[in-house]
Amino acid sequence: MTEGSIGEWKMNVGDKVSAGDILCDIQTDKATMEMESMEDGYLARILIPAGDGMIAVGKPVAIIVDSAEDIAAFADFVASDDAPAAPTAAEPARVLAERPDLRATANQGTPLRTSRAPSNVEVAVVDPNSSMITVRDALNKAMEEEMTKDEKIFVMGEEVGEYQGAYKITRGLLQKFGPKRVYDTPITEAGFCGIGVGAGFSGLKPIVEFMTWNFAMQAIDQIINSAGKTLYMSSGTISCPIVFRGPNGAAAGVGAQHSQCFAAWYMSVPGLKVLAPYSAEDAKGLLKAAIRDPDPVIFLENELLYGQEFPMSEASQSDDFVVPIGKAKIERVGEDVTLIAFSKMVGFCLDAAEELAAEGVSAEVINLRTLRPLDKDAIIESVKKTSRVVVVEEGWPTCGVGSEICTIISEEAFDYLDAPPERVTGVDIPMPYAVNLEKAALPQIHDVVRVAKRACYRSV
């Protein structure tokens, strides 16, 4: 649509206007639509009368002022068709490739809506006051703390209330916050995701739990087309602060339809932020950051990590602890090869690094934590140091997370490479059900060791 006409004005000059009030009907060659006021104030002047022919999209049609006393000042105002166009911000080179999360807002007067972290890289340290906490309990604690602070936050999903959650992540929340903030839903992902997105548009902060991300395919329209695109399509005026969370990737013996990794799927969508925690600290800090974020967040957990204990530092047990979105973490410092992973595969890379160290290879392990926006600075700086890289993921190889990272490295750090970037991925087939075949279809620690040695030109 490039033009339309005013069918009927619903307001008169001098009327008090509230945000959301219908100002007029707009007629196009395809439909009749209502134009809503975006501001509170008073209608000072109508610039385009009803039935006055076709007007281009973006042309002013009325003036709204803050105070009734200002109406008289616009009594003789005439819009100039010769007014200079608003200056546009210079577009950075290759902005879409380098910063897919960038939203140019120079002409809107609003800040860039991103939680992208500073470029300094976090390195894992050992806190002597750490406590061992499971990922399950860390996720539960994150939701409890945020729900206590903000009454707009609520949880919804299948069995999140009375049953305490299919994986007991929401244990105790119903008892503490009541049924108005912890909703058990029917088995209809399309339905309750749509309700959640609508609640986000209305100013609430839903946390939508999927029993598994495989079931989210039933609601992919609501996640991508509604939650992910509306901020852009509304010119930055309609936010959707919502978290979609649940187990992602392979569990154990659940077959092809329940074992997919959706990281690359959602990572490719502008408008979404995609997080994938590994440890208990990741789980708590990233979930709290996701809940506080003004935009839709895809939160990819791993079922096999729920019961695993990790040390949590004294600082991370504070109510104020968050992990910044867009910031990777160096779990192990190394010199010879960089191993990059997210979620469960970070543990595999740490185990592989131990084996490599026994053979004289010093491996650096990067825990991505955030997949969109990627912490490219951390990746590039590590590759500049080691000159070799292996990216590890459970997902399929075609158009995967590793494909994107290897491309970034080839584009931005090619001259620092001493060997081709390598990938270790799941096998390019639907997940087998048989235990032995399932194991063969997923990356194993010995695969990471073998490929890392190949990248270092060691015998394998």
Q: Is 446 a catalytic residue?
A: no
Q: Which of 122, 144, 159, 258 is catalytic?
A: 258
Locate 210 and state its tokens.
């999927």
290 in Cβ contact with 266 (< 8 Å): no
Distance CA 65, CA 69 (A): 9
Q: How many CB atoms lie within 10 A of CB 417?
A: 17
Instruction: To the nearest 10°, report the CA torsion of 141, 143, 147, 150.
Output: 110
Residue with tokens 């990590």: 305
Distance CA 111, CA 98 (A): 19
- 420: amino acid identity, one letter: P
63 in Cβ contact with 11 (< 8 Å): no
Distance CA 270, CA 229 (A): 8
Identify the CA nearest to 136 among candidates 171, 112, 104: 171
Q: Which of 145, 146, 189, 281 is catalytic?
A: 189
Q: Is 189 a catalytic residue?
A: yes
Locate 382 and state its tokens.
């590590």
Strands 32-36 and 22-27: antiparallel
Contacts of 93 (CB under 8 A, 6+ apart): none
Distance CA 323, CA 286 (A): 5
Residue 451 host element (H or E): helix 445-455
So which residues are the catalytic ones? 189, 258
